[in-house]
Structure 1
């Protein structure tokens, strides 16, 4: 079934050109993600011949009142009412959740700003825009400043000698999770990360310890800033590109306004360039409270497109 779903996603990508590359293995990892507080519900739609033509997935956190709907409809069958069926299915489940929890529940769904039909669909079903995220990119073949860490910090990676033992690796994961949660606790739609979830992420076959960077306080060993980069060689080979993503960048609260964010960003860009990438990609909340968009623009990143999150409350 996962291969059939991947084929549907690919058929949509060939028409939509959203750069949402997918593979069977990536679907497998997503469906098996050990997020203990997330209940994933999937529904499939087929035509009269049994061909998969639509996919809907609800992610419903147990510890939150925000659920998320993602869906795909085969281009040949769009505009025939299947999209409305998917939304009705998701709304029915959300109403059940709201009743069970005796509270209001928000249903979110996203759209690229260029997907006018999807936007019209969501708005006609009572969704309203609530947040905007920018996709940005920068060429790594063009020069950029050399990273300079503020005094009192050292740059390490998950590959560093101090984390090479089993105990060292465990310390890295636990300290990284604490840093992540402290960094993003004041950000929109934040959910605390667990060590178990991080272990799942670093077990990814394309995860590279040398691209997982942290700034450590020399005085007490606190993980103060981080930049985690990712390269998908399958996607690059399929597209004929040399792109790397800056997946996560942040500075822990209490260590901001010292230049750590810029130093970690430039360090990540340098690592990607050193391993042969010629372009860096990232995503950012347009209303990021720490002013990340200005930071990215200051080192040459430019907006490629905007993703819009829509919400409907029950």
Structure 2
């Protein structure tokens, strides 16, 4: 049996090796999860990431990176969720490295449980056409929990005219000035959706420091009394588009605050967002939606021309 080197993430010096590993995985898996050194550097600046404990690297005896485990841990809820990303070099998938990474994720979440004294769960996701990885997860004790559709829509086709309810206004988000009001709206908009975790002002500011952030794609609807009622934030990752030969943007966040639903805000904000992407020269809009979203999001997207591209299955395990 080959003895692997298991170690913690060491920062900048590891970024190129991680990027090379993701590139090798992408060549086989086609999951659109490749990342450059610049993108990885930005992700490592996430204030919620414990760099020393939430990332683990596996190397072969020659020091080549062949596996990585990464946890996104939400600590703002009564039950703490750790979302595990597991990537293994295609040449190293004949052994049990994937199981080692899963075991590390479970142990890390047990540490969180001891530190915080709360219940914890470990989650991950698999695209529905990856039968091998699905079988691994199920044999490791994971249970399917939710189905998330990735949808697309051509922006070369006509986009209906958006209409806000009477006396509502639309404007771009003013980054720092709007932070507290926007975060409150976000939390009230998604409080009753699956796997919602409370957003903090600190994380709001981190997300808007990302190189892909554009104020012209960050829209908010204001009610007559000044309340932030709905939002649509889109992103365009030019680096990813260049790398993959795409010209696409994402409806990254679309939400309507409780008390302002069923009056057409969601549809209007979606159409405004699509038009902003179109104005930026984008050909394809994509988004992700929970198949069982309780507020009719799937039906809304289908009504304006989005169709399913593929499905991701969310898996969960109590640890």
Pairwise same-fold verdict (TM > 0.5):
yes
SS at match of 1:60: strand
Distance (Å, rounded) in 2 between the aligned partners of 1:209 and 1:59: 26
Equivalence for 1:270: 275
For residue 174 of structure 1, give the secondary structure of its aligned residue in structure 2: helix
Q: TM-score, normalised by structure 2?
A: 0.90
In structure 2, the partner of 1:210 is 216
Structure 1: gaps (5+ residues): 164-168
Q: Does 2:214 match 1:201?
A: no
Tell me whether 1:312 sits opposite 2:284 in the alignment.
no
Distance 2:159 2:72 in 1: 39
* SS in structure 2 at match of 1:114: coil
Give the 3-state SS of the residue equivalent to 2:20 in structure 1: helix
Q: Give the 3-state SS of the residue equivalent to 2:300 in structure 1.
A: helix
Correspondence for 2:161: 146
Match of 1:178 in 2: 184
Q: Following superposition of structure 1 onto structure 2, how do residues 85-234 of structure 1 map, counting pairs within 5 Å? A: 85-158=100-173, 163=174, 169-217=175-223, 219-234=224-239
2: CA distance, partners of 1:254 / 1:175: 16
Cα contact 2:15–2:37 (8 A) shared by 1: yes
Task: Tell me by how many angstroms 1:29 deviates.
Answer: 1.6
1-side partners of 2:53 and 2:147: how far apart?
24
Contact 1:137 1:303 in 2 (8 A): yes
- The answer as to 2:242 corresponding to 1:242 is no
Partner Cα distance (1:231, 1:263) in 2? 20
Q: Distance in 1 between matches of 2:31 and 2:49?
A: 30
SS of 2:43's equivalent in the other structure is: helix
Query: Per the alignment, do residues 196 and 103 of structure 1 end up closer, same or farther by CA in structure 2, a change over 3 Å counting?
Result: closer
Q: CA offsets, 1:84-108, max 9 Å, x none?
A: 1111222223334345555542111
- Helix, strand or coil at the partner of 2:138: helix
SS in 1 for 2:178: helix
Structure 2: runs of 5+ lacking an equivalent:
1-13
CA RMSD of aligned residues (A): 1.8
TM-score, with structure 1 as normaliser = 0.92
Residues 239/263 of structure 1: CA separation in 2 closer, same or farther (3 Å cut): same
- Distance (Å, rounded) in 2 between the aligned partners of 1:130 and 1:260: 29
Is 1:77 the counterpart of 2:104? The answer is: no
Distance 1:176 1:80 in 2: 47
Residues 39 and 288 of structure 1, relative CA distance in 2, 3 Å threshold = farther
1:39 positional shift: 8.6
* Range with greater deviation from structure 2 (223-232 or 35-44): 35-44
Distance in 2 separating the partners of 1:177 and 1:101: 24
Q: Deviations over 1:199-220 (max 9, x none)?
A: 1111122211111011111x21
Post-superposition offset of 1:21: 3.2
Query: Deviation digits for residues 187-236 of structure 1, max 9, x if unmatched?
Result: 1121111112111111122211111011111x211111110011111112
Structure 1 residue 117 displacement after superposition: 0.6
**Does the 8 Å contact 2:46/2:206 carry over to 1?**
yes
User: Structure 1 residues 224, 203: CA separation in 2 closer, same or farther (over 3 Å shift)?
Assistant: same
> Equivalences for 1:41-80 in 2 at 5 Å?
41-63=54-76, 64-80=79-95
